[in-house]
Structure 1
Amino acid sequence: MMPMKKLLLLSLVLLCSLTAWTAQRSPEEALSIARSFFMQSSGAVTRNAGDIHLVAVSNDLLKSVSTRSVEGTAFYIYNYEQSAYVIVSGDDRMKPVLGYSDNGSFITENLPVNILGWLELYNAAYAELGNGEKAVTEPKLLTKTSFPASVSPLLGSICWDQSAPYNNNCPLYQGERCVTGCVATAMAMILKYHEYPVKGKGTHSYKAPNGIECSFDYGNTTFDWNNMLPQYSGTYAAEQADAVAQLMLACGVAVDMQYSPYSSGAYSYQVGQTLIDYFGYDGNLGLVYRQYFTSAEWMNLIKSEINEKRPIYYFGSSDDGGHAFVFDGYDTQDMVHVNWGWSGMNNGYFEVASLNPDSPGIGGGSNLGGGFTRGQGMYLGIQPPTSSSNFTSHFYMTELEANKTEVVKGEAFKLEITGFTNMSMVWKNGDLAVIAERDGQQSVLGQDALKMEINTFDAYNFSFSGLTIPNNFADGTYSVYVATKDEREATWSRVRGYVGSETQLILVVSGNKCTLTPFSGNLDLEKDIEVGVELVHSLYSGLKGDFKMLVSNKSTSDEYYGLVGIALFTADETPRFVAIVGDAQVEVKPGTINRELVISGDLVVSDNSVLSKIPAGEYYVRPCIDWGVSTYVIGELTPVTIKEVRGTADLKVSQPHLEKEQLQVGETLKFLADLSLSGDGNVYTGTLTAAIFENAIGYAYSVHYQNVFVEADQTKNLVMEIPLSLGEGRHAVCLYKSGTNGDLVTISTLYFSVGPATGIEDEVADEDGLVIYQQPVDEILNIRTSNAVQMISVYNLSGQQMIQQKEPGDKKEYSIPVKGLTAGYYIVVLQSADGKVYKSKFMKR
């Protein structure tokens, strides 16, 4: 657990990056930005540009409260009907979108004081643009920033999994065949994409803690790429099954897979070196972790890899555990295409910050895990050996501290480097340096040889003594940071840190005087981040508590990425910290207003790894947030009562039924019931499990979970929405609750049918002039329109974007490849150059 500290006062910095010229946005430009924003948001398939209205501009809205006299317009506010609004900046030196909400329109009358204060902050930031001052800028990762708008999935139709036939060569444990493990499956799909190597290198063996002994002779194995099928459904030949099973075992043994019949596991940080050692892949590949990069830098790395035709091995953890998978494409809205390694199930486009599949497969935990958002990382440069590759070192640190805050030129000072850690591949030989950077120009203040082997996660402390600021340094502001350069590198690589970490210094040179100030980024925790918390339901000792948290980021330029949580305190006159009772990994973009999170955690406290219930009584809860290497409390104390659990309660489920028993392909199944208690207990909390059985036989096709909380003397309505990817036929859904011995007790079995679409003929035309012909669609979606369009997007019925394709805007007939889509219904949306939107439903066979 990280130490609790009171919130520190942080220095105020400018909220926007500045350039040397003024560019006021016109109302027409602002409207165009608002229209694009609404079109790209989650409701894009239903929003019409004609429903967007200007409701306020800065000068009119703030004329009675602003203390600043500002010429020009700082911002425009647009409503989309009564359901959403967006705040668009009035100057192109600020971010286009300053804030937005998808939960209601903007009402100009009787604005709350905090909203007015927020808008005045934007007004003040706009006013600062005219004074010529320049904000401190953090050195950015030097990488290509111009990429194609989108890239289709590189893996194509490769959709592998972890059970048969993929695990046919995996070891047996207590008579059962072990699954391959997600690490092996992700590796194997990437190797299949490259179809390299022909033969491996060396041998490897190990004995797992459960007694399973594994070995593989890579040097004497020829991989049978031609016999590996992209998918293994239906019938396939024995040699085709053997080919993929051999590759899966080779990948698993290489990473010391801990095999199990239900969930095999391995560490992702071992993948890179095994690809080099046993499969002969390029030695310049690298490992990086999300928390040390901005979202823009991270997305640039992803796009760079995919544009170099290199599928990305990616990993992350949810509340239920870790998973490895593959990024192999992206769309125009910076959503990445994910191949989850579950036979194609859930494959699609996701935000990197929200990797949350509807129905996880083998080893993926449950849909309640909150998505694979924690501990995200990826490998760069996975490819066969090439002479054109370059090595990049990747280190992070926890603190950079100077022994003096003010020196004159030529005066010696010392820097202490704490927690210097290798996050990537083995460092062999090179240099460590202190760099001063201004306007992209790097100057070395000090440099030492680092002639030692440093493995992944090896950590050290270093110091630089005798540093001086050279006499030829011009007046101005510099960033001072630590950098590495392996003997294989041509340029310096900045040592990185968590958001909020003081891993840089700001050097201000004025004549002979030089000041050194710790710098943790432009985001100001005290002034930019607002967090509130409230209860979702009553709290009971030892049971799970659910809290609703509202997180806002008032910065117009900098995101927050890290953990937010709920800290529990005693209700004493001087509250004492008790425990953190739940947290979540979040990315809060600049201008986010009241992003809603539900954070859950057990009301228990740990003492020397022994868990005990938090006693019933009166307490306070307060939001907390990771900042640098510490956790800070933020926001107000909220009084709460933790109740005592009495007696034994059992869950009573009444009137279970389906909202619809006849569904179309791609529709969502909705399971309804009434929940109440029996027995003498006062509360029940647990998880209901719904299993879908294809054709009402065999093993569960997919499993979904929902937490329930019911108190005595109340009836709750259960609404369980289950996304389906089933084909036509008669299927079953079984609802279970947990029994007293941890087994599943059947509550109800209900049947439903999935049938073909109704009302869709061979040719469908909507009233706006869009025609889809040759339905149902097989591999190509053919469209004819009465107006030339510039963008075509395809969404599933859950609103998730599956395909996006840019058009030159000079034709009226289009062909969109949809072979990779699963069978079902989809919505195609077309946007013309004049802002009109056309949409229609189609069926994929």
Structure 2
Amino acid sequence: LWDETTGTSLAYIFDIVPAGYLVVSTDTMIAPIVAYSYKSDFSWEDVAENILLQMLKLDMHNRLEAISEGIMDRQIVVKNEEMWGKFLNEDSTGPVERSPTVYGPWLTTDWHQHSPYNDDCPLDPITGDRCVVGCVATALSQILNYWQYPTTVTFTQSDSYTSEIDPSDGNGTRTIPIDATRASFSGLLYNSCNPSDSAKADLCFAAGVSVRMGYSSAGSGTSTAKVAPALAGSYYPFSGKPPERWGYTSADLLTSNTDYNWWESPHYVSEDLLYDQLSANMQLARPAEMAITGSLGGHAIVVDGWQSDGRSYHLNFGWYGGSSTAWYALPSGLPSGLNIIRYVVLNIVPTSTTQSLTVNTSGSGSGAVGKVPNRSSLTRGTHVLLTAVPDSGSTFAHWEGDLAGSTNPACIIMDGDKSVTAHFVQASPTQYTLTMAVDGSGSTDPSVGIHTYDEGTVVPLTATPDAGWMFDHWNGDVTGSTNPTSITMNGDKSVTAVLTPSTYSIDYVVAHWVNGALDPNDPCQISLDQILQAIAWWANGTPVPQTGGQTIDLDKILDLIAKWADARCIESSISQPLALPKALSTAEAASVVEATRSISATAEGQAKVTVTIEAKQAITGLALDEDLPQGWTITPIDNGGATFNTQEAQWLWLELNAGETKTVRYQVEIPSAASA
């Protein structure tokens, strides 16, 4: 929010999803949270009726000016800086700890100045449109509706007057004769603060006439100070005091603004006393009407709530455009000329009649009922917020007596003596589901399927494999290989027992290897015989039985052989000499490959050997073995692309093309005791 004249940033406004907004100050000397709502969105429409926007513009400008000139009350500055420090030092992942008692908001209405509320207002003689209600009358009519009092009001001809106002729309002054007797009504049905449209129009027009509203279609206005005498014949410091017409027991006009320090005592009070009385009214569920100054002129609003940890009050702006209500940190510690609060009409009490409220509890459970206001005797018409608080092991079920339903908290209107009972029942424990499954052949306890348990139950888990199978591990919300084990039900859970064959068939292991089910970091899960079987399947184009028709990928075979050889898997995989899928005779071998060997001595007991092999035809598997005497060792120099097994002194190729040549070089070391 910017100051359009100076370009200064006045406040930061954040939208809240799904609804609401947050207004944050730009200076740590100002309260961190200036305004917020979880109900209505922030409106940027720059019109006089958008009271929140106009109020923020002037209020933030004034507060920043007071700071820059060093004239804001130092105690207020220190308090604001302490609050900023608390916010800034908190862990951003959690809420700041604060637990004020919240009183209100007490109004259940969001009335505005247009139809149906202005349906009884006169026509504008210049525009021909219906005049608007006026913010003073909108606020007053909502307070009258809150108290649902009176049901009858009578205006005489002596109450008639001539309305004159220039709304500054360029069309000049409107002069309208007001016949006050038209504003009288009898037997108004408030319908638990939800009157019909015609009743709303009657109430709004009567409220306007009672404060001698100046009417126009572009804006209607009068002084908020007239509300006090119109309600209860109370003190009015200006000329032209309107007569009392609403018959209220009390309505007091107060100010702490130094512009009105000439008012009689006790109507001019300190700022602390003004806020003390305002908060006391909110604790008694008594809405007040406040006059403020905005960037486009004066406004009247309803104050109908308060939070006990500061000067954050709930305001009802009486506007239809969006920002109709807000919690607002009203200004404190500002000198004359910078305080947007002019004065307030509070202690609005319609009658001396009081009503009693009795609360009880019933049911198989137990609990208590909180009341705000917490009084046994209340002014007739007071709204009371009831909150059912169940004890541990119980839950609130519903209201009985003069309050029905299960809404909690719930509001009851004291339009008579009331008796309310909160019905509590024993709470059913929270329950969660456990889903059991098996991967493999076997069973579990609990059995495969969905089971329900109370919260906190410790459930034993056991996996039992079928014959030929063994338990391997758990998957899901239980992991590891402990069997039996257990799980604590603190939420919905899913557990799978993974079972594997205790003896592997070649097709099973190779199929799982092909499908990527075997651990690539543990190649010893598969034996050399199984590798050779896979080579044979690949060479013949035979699908692996367990894969449902999938053939073997040679790249996977080569990758696994490399890992298998590097991991020295021979001892655990084979207990007999290496054998190709098909052994070749000497004659057959000669027609398949041509091999030459050369040996050169390099030192005593050492020699370098070179073996060159040329494939005469395509080969799908070739092994080169060196059968060395005991104690002789081989150190490879160049393996010619083959996989070398040190223990067996063996080179293995899986595929050679016709005419392809492979060369192997290695060094032989002969023990000194060996013959030359």
With structure 1 as the length reference, what TM-score do the two structures score?
A: 0.27
Structure in which a larger fraction of residues adopt strand: 1
With structure 2 as the length reference, what TM-score do the two structures score?
A: 0.33
